[in-house]
Amino acid sequence: MDPDQITGLILAGGRGSRMGGVDKGLQNYQGLPLAMHALLRLSPQVGHVMINANRNLGAYEAFGVPVWPDALPDFAGPLAGFLTGLDHCETPYLVTVPCDTPHFPTDLVARLSTALQAQDADIAMARTGAQVQPVFTLMKISLLESLVRFTDSGGRKIDRWTAQHHTVEVDFDDESAFANVNTQDELVALERGRG
């Protein structure tokens, strides 16, 4: 799949409640905000990138890519980010990554897109061992209407929505590549482990 057919979306719209309410994507890691690490890692894999954020929009806009807040109120979770991304996506495919996982695979998008095409699926999602990684997801933008219906009816769980569609899970061996940061302690530990 041509990367120009894919838009990448960095999910940075959460409350950061386990991190004391700070904006997680703007926390410093190895000298850069976490979300900037995600941007630098994702950009070479896709044709376009945008960020989903609900606070500090000016700080994210300074990254040089479009920034879109949730269309749904009250920090409605990753599906709200998916919805925002699909709504603003101008390519046939959207891939999502979270802002708090700075070492996700550099071949993430290529492997998800290969599996999506091989299985003629609507959605491709990363998996490490038995653990599905639902925020690392490639989807067709034709799913927008389905997601609007699902969220309008109060749905907020990614797996309940993806279960309605032909979804393929793609195995990745390196679990550490998907290590994410939810607390300040985890941020310190990641910094030490990867320093």
Q: Which residues are annotated as a binding site?
A: 11-13, 24, 52, 70, 100
In the chain, beta strands by DSSP E: 6-12, 28-29, 32-33, 48-53, 67-68, 93-98, 123-128, 131-140, 167-171
Annotated binding site for Mg(2+): which residue ranges? 100
**109 to 27, 49, 58, 134, 195: CA distances (angstroms):** 25, 13, 28, 14, 25
- The tokens describing 42, both together, are 């994702």
Annotated binding site for GTP: which residue ranges? 11-13, 24, 52, 70, 100
- The tokens describing 101, both together, are 């996982």
Taking the C-alpha atoms of residue 66 and residue 191, their distance in angstroms, rounded to an integer, is 28
